[in-house]
Amino acid sequence: MTSVFDLAPETPVVPVVVIEDAADAVPLARALVAGGLPLIEVTLRTPAALDAVRAIAAEVPDAVVGVGTVVSAAGVAEAVGAGARFLVSPGWTERLLGAMRESGVPFLPGVSTASEVVALLEQGVDAMKFFPAEAAGGVPYLKSLAGPLPRARFCPTGGVSLANARGYLSLPNVGCVGGTWMLPPDALAAHDWARVETLAREAAAVRVPVGG
């Protein structure tokens, strides 16, 4: 199966989006795509989330929309039914992992400990979400995992910002990072999509040169 990291391999940052009004989904997604962030994670934290995913999937063809905060088999089915092209969970269980495998779309199960990483590697899963990244040890922790567990690749999310994103992306076991800093609440409330696009472009520029 294709990895989430292969869906938009040149994209270093995945916006983690909380949408309160589904009517905002399309202009928000267009702003993110225009700014160079086509991989968009819409979280299942609001009643509008699935309608937002449907709208983005139907009207923003350049977006690769996924669903985050997936915590149940039912959530997996609803997300895929709405058009999600990838799934993200804050953690995982055997049942949830099985449902994500059977969904047919790439997924990132969440981990925060070495034991959880080893358990997923035993099951043939090497693409993972590291959450909550900063609270769970941040860059030093992931750096320490790279030696004994080199097959695991991560998308750190939780406390990641413009200030520390480059540090994560410099690690050999990090494929991308997830964050919300390009989506300030005041810009969303004002429907200031131009500002979102500008911040997205700034985030998309956070790449680590090859060899450095």
Cβ–Cβ under 8 Å, residues 57 and 83: yes
Nearest 10 degrees: Cα torsion 61, 54, 203, 146: -100
Structure tokens at 212: 């450095």
The catalytic position among 10, 20, 41, 143 is 41
Query: Out of 122, 129, 134, 202, which one is annotated catalytic?
Result: 129
Q: Which of 78, 61, 112, 71 is nearest to 92 (CA)?
A: 71
Two tokens, residue 146? 């790279």
Active site residue 41: yes
DSSP 208: P
Phi-psi region of 137 (alpha: psi -120 to 50; beta: other; left: phi over 0): left
Active site residues: 41, 129
